Homo-oligomer: A and B are copies of this chain.
C-alpha cells in the first residue's frame, strides 16, 4: 500500500514540524487553513505514527498528542520512544525532552517502550 501525497497531509506535517510542542486533534484543526474532516486528521496522524514519522503520546488528560520529534529525525532508522515528554501546567504546551534516561527495573523485567510525562512549568511560565 503505497502512500500518496496530499495537501492536507503535507500541511499537517508542516504544522507538526514547526510546532515544538505536541499537538492534539483540536489544536491541529485550529491551525489548519482548510477545513479537514476530523476522521481524516486522525487517519493522517495515525498513518504518520505508524510510519514512525511522529510520536503519539497520551497526555494526562487522556487525549492523544502528536509530535514531530527532532531526536528521532536524526536517527531515523532507530525510532525509539524512550524519552520524556514535558507538559506545562500554565501554557499547556507539550514537548519532547532530549534527555535520555535509564531506569532500573525489577529483576526479570525488560522494557520495550518508555513514556514519561512530566508536568510542571516551562521557562516562560515559571
Contact = CB atoms under 8 A, between A and B. Distances in A.
A36 interface: no
Contacts of A119: 111-115
A105 B108 CA distance: 30
Contacts of A63: 62
A32 interface: no
Contacts of A121: 109-110, 112
A118 interface: yes
22 contacts: A58-B58, A62-B64, A86-B105, A97-B105, A97-B106, A99-B105, A103-B116, A105-B120, A106-B123, A108-B122, A108-B123, A109-B121, A109-B122, A109-B123, A109-B126, A110-B120, A110-B121, A114-B117, A114-B118, A114-B119, A115-B116, A116-B116
Interface of A: 58-64, 84, 86, 89, 97, 99, 101, 103-123, 126
